[in-house]
Amino acid sequence: MNPIRSIKGTHDILPADSQNWQQLEQIVRTVCQRFGYNEIRTPIFEETRLYSRSVGENTDIVSKEMYSWDDKDGKSITLRPELTASVVRSFIQHNLGGQAPVQRLYYMGPLFRRERPQKGRQRQFHQFGVEAFGSENPEQDAEIIAIAWHILLECGLSENATLHLNSIGSPNCRKAYREALKNFIRPNLSLFSETSQKRFETNPLRILDTKADHEQKMLKDAPKVSDCFSDDDMAHFESVQNFLKVMNIPFILNEKLVRGLDYYSRTVFEFTSSALGAQDALLGGGRYDGLVETLGGKATPGIGFAAGMERFLIAMAETEVLSRESKIDVYFVCLDEAGLSTALSLANKLRQAGFNVVSDPLRRSLKAQMRDANKSGAKYALILGETEMETDSIVLKNLEKSEQETVSQKNILEKLRNLTN
RNA sequence: GUGGGUGUAGCUCAAUUGGUUAGAGCACCUGGUUGUGGUCCAGGAGGCUGUGGGUUCAAGUCCCAUCACCCACCCCA
């Protein structure tokens, strides 16, 4: 019988790694709270039409990467391939917009896309992200980007990260630009690749993303989105840039940055990292002023970003940020079967007082238990043997200093408290 | 989805041109006289060589398929 393995593109996060995950999660929570954002948790699966409506029928995500199936009642269900759609759905469903004019939300969790796995890209992967609803002002854009920047700083990634910034204008501008771009390309359309030709009809802006050199050459003199900006679009984009400068957040303007999801408008941005190679997008997002309305809610502006947690951790591995500190305070060594009751009761008392205490369930030799204590990284070992049992005492050993003393069992908690404060 | 590469112990890697019982380091376990860890020494455990076929007297080594991983395309976080 061949052994059962995890599904292609999915990974176990083992104890050796989960500490890093927790550390990243902690940074995200801390920074989001610092900006007054609260966590929202939405279901892992949703109705399929949520994604076709928001992300876009013609995007790669919806057209070929989703895990979808028909539920018993015939409804098409999909494992979430991204999270903004769910957050917006929830925002509308619970009328969050009616409860406060600005909603500041963040999230974390697994997502599913059926892509070819490679480094920094899995079929089940994790993102954290933030969304802010209610303001269309540029200071909101700047705040969202600032959150991303603060998280990158805390993660030690700001040095190797580059912020690419662009505006794709408001919907009217985009519409005009679409036509202008199509008019520019149309004479030479046959020279473009099959995918580009398809995008010419479905999503012409994406053609700007092409990496084919000959296509880039033909696009050299293509009209720019900024040509179609309204005065408001222009002023908005300039304000965003000014606010970023005021906060000392470095960025470069990148007119080719279009982003693959349909719902974006105006500000779009992406942080890339030199630590990642081909899949170098660490974090990406933008404004989506029309999305709430598209999904049936009251017109509400919104902006947010999503970040790849696996990619963060890959990049963070090269930094000094991830710690390997032991979480064990005390390793409890018990030498004699007769002492087990005392050991359990004492260890329990220490745990109730907040100490992290590990004990050996194998009744191993003192040597083996001490070796294990050392490996656990515990700062202290408590040793309970025959001699100690006779005198209601216990040996307290400082494993770093290699010093030990005998303490009465009654006073051990107090003693440890004093030592660790 | 398309190319290319790689699969030997938990990890990193060995194994002449196909030729005995597939090795090493790290990690793990147990010891090194009575109750003390890290270093050192000794011993032990751990592999159907990713899986399934084929060629051969003989396959870790050659061929095919399949699966997984890596790189690029693609896409995105």
What is the per-residue pLDDT across A51-66, written as a single tens digit (0 to 9) for each?
A: 999 888 888 889 889 9
Q: Using the CB atom, is residue A388 less than 7 Å from strand B?
A: yes
Overall size of chain A counted in residues: 421
- Spatial contact of A333 and A381, defined as CB atoms under 8 Å apart: yes
| The pLDDT value given to residue A395 | 96
Q: Which residues, given as ranges, of chain A have pLDDT below 70?
A: 1-2, 260
- Spatial contact of A156 and A316, defined as CB atoms under 8 Å apart: yes
- Spatial contact of A83 and A129, defined as CB atoms under 8 Å apart: yes
| The pLDDT value given to residue A1 | 46
Strands A68-70 and A76-79: antiparallel
Q: Using the CB atom, is residue A2 less than 7 Å from strand B?
A: yes
Residues 22-41 of A with CB under 7 A from strand B: none
| The pLDDT value given to residue A179 | 87
Residues 300-329 of A with CB under 7 A from strand B: 306-308, 310-311
Listed residue (A227, A228, A184) closest to A204, CA to CA: A184
- Spatial contact of A369 and A354, defined as CB atoms under 8 Å apart: no
**ipTM here:** 0.87
Distance CA A211, CA A179 (A): 22
Distance CA A62, CA A68 (A): 10
| The pLDDT value given to residue A104 | 98
pLDDT in tens, A299-335: 999 999 999 999 999 999 888 888 888 889 999 999 9
- Find and give the residue nearest to B32, measured CA to C1': A367
Residues 270-289 of A with CB under 7 A from strand B: 270, 277-284
**Spatial CB neighbours of A291, under 8 Å, sequence gap ≥ 6:** A54, A84, A88, A263, A302
The DSSP element (H or E) to which A167 belongs, if any, is strand A161-167
- Spatial contact of A167 and A268, defined as CB atoms under 8 Å apart: yes
Residues 392-421 of A with CB under 7 A from strand B: 395, 397, 399-400, 402, 404
Distance CA A115, CA A122 (A): 7
**Spatial CB neighbours of A418, under 8 Å, sequence gap ≥ 6:** none
Instruction: Calculate the angstrom distance between C1' of B25 and CA of A395.
Output: 37
| The pLDDT value given to residue A7 | 87
| The pLDDT value given to residue A350 | 97
Distance CA A113, CA A50 (A): 15
Instruction: Calculate the angstrom distance between C1' of B36 and CA of A344.
Output: 21
Listed residue (A142, A396, A387, A153) closest to A285, CA to CA: A142
Instruction: Calculate the angstrom distance between C1' of B25 and CA of A44.
Output: 45
Coil, strand or helix at A59: coil
Chain B bases closer than 7 A to any CB of the protein: 1-2, 28-32, 35-38, 51, 67-77
| The pLDDT value given to residue A420 | 86
Nearest nucleic acid nucleotide to A336, CA to C1' distance: B35
Distance CA A302, CA A141 (A): 9
Residues 128-187 of A with CB under 7 A from strand B: none
| The pLDDT value given to residue A260 | 66
Q: Using the CB atom, is residue A297 less than 7 Å from strand B?
A: no
Q: Using the CB atom, is residue A61 less than 7 Å from strand B?
A: yes
* Domains (range + CATH), chain A: 15-170+230-316 (3.30.930.10), 330-420 (3.40.50.800)
| The pLDDT value given to residue A57 | 86
Q: Using the CB atom, is residue A9 less than 7 Å from strand B?
A: yes
Q: Using the CB atom, is residue A59 less than 7 Å from strand B?
A: yes
